[in-house]
Structure 1
Amino acid sequence: MTTDQILVRIGEAAQLHHHQGQRDAARHLLSQIWDEIGGDHGNPLHVCVLAHTMADVQDDVHQELLWDQRALTAADRLTDEQTTQAGVALPVAGLYPSLHLNLADCYRKLGDLARARAREHLRHAQSGIDALGDDEYGRLIRNGLHTLMQQLTAPAVPQAK
Structure 2
Amino acid sequence: MADDRMAEVFAAVRLGGVDQVAARQVLEKLWNEIGDHADALHRCLIAHYLADLQAEAADALHWDQCALAAVFGPGIPLDEGLRGFLPSLYLNLADSHRRVGEFEVARMQLAIARGHLDVLAADAYGALIRSRLRSIEAALLARSLSPLANS
The TM-score bracket by the shorter chain reads: 0.7 to 0.9
> Aligned-pair distance for 1:25?
0.9
* TM-score, normalization by structure 1: 0.82
- Summarize the Cα distance change of 1:5–1:147 in structure 2 as closer, same or farther, 3 Å threshold: same
Shift of 1:92: 2.0
Q: In structure 2, do the counterparts of structure 1 residues 158 and 151 end up closer, same or farther at CA, with 3 Å as the change threshold?
A: closer
Query: Once the 2 structures are TM-superposed, how far is the Cα of residue 124 of structure 1 from its aligned partner?
Result: 0.5
Per the alignment, residue 50 of structure 1 pairs with: 46
Unaligned runs of 5+ in 2: 147-151
Superposition pairs of residues 22-37 of structure 1, within 5 angstroms: 22-37=19-34
- Cα offsets for 1:74-95 (capped at 9, x unmatched): 11134355xxxxxxxx632211
TM-score, scaled relative to structure 2: 0.87
Aligned counterpart for 2:88 among listed residues 98, 112, 116: 98
Does the C-alpha gap of structure 1 residues 158 and 68 become closer, same or farther in structure 2, counting only changes over 3 Å?
closer
CA contact (8 A) 2:72 2:78 kept: no
Q: Secondary structure at the match of 2:54?
A: coil
CA displacement at 1:15 relative to structure 2? 1.1
Within a 5 Å distance, the mapping from 1:116-131 to structure 2 comes to 116-131=104-119
Partner of 1:147: 135
Is the 2:54–2:60 Cα contact (8 Å) retained in structure 1?
yes
**Structure-to-structure mapping, 1:66-81, within 5 angstroms:** 66-77=62-73, 78-79=76-77
1:133: which partner in 2? 121
**CA distance in 2: counterparts of 1:137 and 1:125, whole angstroms:** 15
Deviation string 1:106-135 (CA, Å, 9 cap, x unpaired) is 111112xx1000000000000000101112
How many pairs are equivalent? 143
Superposed CA RMSD:
1.7
Name the CA distance, whole Å, in 2 between partners of 1:138 and 1:117.
24
How many angstroms apart in 1 are the aligned matches of 2:92 and 2:100?
13
